[in-house]
Amino acid sequence: MDFGSCGPVSAILATFNEAGITLSEQDARRPMGMLKRDHIAAVIALPNVAAEWKARHASIAAEADVERLYQRFVTLQASSLANHATLIPGAIEAVSQLRARGIKIGSTTGYTRAMLNPVAEEAARQGYEPDASVTPDEVGAGRPQPFMILENLVRLRVWPPSLAVKVGDTPIDMEEGRNAGVWTVGLAATGNGIGAGWEEFQQMSAQTQRHRIETARKELYESGAHFVIDTLAALGDVLREIESGIPLPSWEVERAIPLS
């Protein structure tokens, strides 16, 4: 849902704009995929944003400022969902193919359950509903911690982790998958790395489209993706390659972040 991840970005930009901070879209997108409160905290900690905040407010941003921005974001995000709630082209077809193969589908997110519910309801109305979904507030931490993936494995009765594949469009998605010890597949041509909605992307030149996709591919590989594909339509080919017997690197879990 939401080609280019434009909904959260628009709400983040509006939140900081109301606080007198002119935030670039690039800075707003950097922590995409994190629990949204963590996302806001990460943005406000960026050196250029921190400097602008101090110049504007005569003090360094404190926890109370992060909380106030987050609460405002929650309101703005809720009102922006209607404009960014369309399933990505090809998603339904890809999901149907996965289900035909008996594959279970779980979901992780940067939203709390309260934020996710209306999104999930709209997705279901358009024909998509995962077999399980887990939010950060249900497991005590968001990405890059692996707890949402591990809880999905519990709910779906899938074990060991090498039988699971994490698919996502952000670097922190890849980190989450690596930390859980599962396969990681990056989506380069439909998500956050594109930095534009569906209609805007279609109006770009072929050269600009290729540049954005290749930039996203590079970032996802550098963040730990085992595979990077353009769209979900290619996921079946990746799954067949995994099923052919190639081993998950033995050092996968060893590089996991310390759990706190």
Residue 161 has pLDDT above 90, yes or no: yes
The CATH number of the domain holding residue 51 is 1.10.150.240
Same domain, 153 and 234: yes
The CATH number of the domain holding residue 234 is 3.40.50.1000
Query: First-to-last CA distance in the chain?
Result: 31
Q: Of the candidates 50, 83, 116, which is a domain's last residue?
A: 83
| Residue-range definition of the domain harbouring residue 12 | 6-83
Distance of CA 14 to the CA centre of its chain: 20
Q: Of the candidates 38, 64, 83, which is a domain's last residue?
A: 83
Assign 123 a pLDDT band (cuts: 50, 70, 90).
Answer: very high
Position 79 scores a pLDDT of 78
Residue 258 has pLDDT above 60, yes or no: no
Q: What are the DSSP calls for 142-203, one per residue?
A: -TTSSHHHHHHHHHHT--SGGG-EEEESSHHHHHHHHHHT-EEEEE-SSSGGG-S-HHHHHH
Tokens of 67: 């909380």
Same domain, 65 and 107: no
Residue 246 has pLDDT above 90, yes or no: no
Q: Of the candidates 57, 83, 109, which is a domain's last residue?
A: 83
Residue 219 has pLDDT above 80, yes or no: yes
Average pLDDT over the chain, rounded to whole?
92
Q: How many Cβ atoms sit within 10 Å of the Cβ of residue 160? A: 10
pTM of the model: 0.89
CA distances from 190 to 10, 70, 171, 187 (A): 17, 26, 14, 7
Residue 260 domain-assigned (yes or no): no
Position 260 scores a pLDDT of 35
Position 249 scores a pLDDT of 67
Contact yes or no for 73/23 (Cβ under 8 A): no
What percent of the chain stands above pLDDT 90? 89
Distance separating alpha carbons of residues 151 and 154, to the nearest angstrom: 5
What are 69-83's pLDDT values in tens digits?
Answer: 999 999 998 877 767
Indicate the number of domains in the chain.
Answer: 2
Same domain, 140 and 214: yes
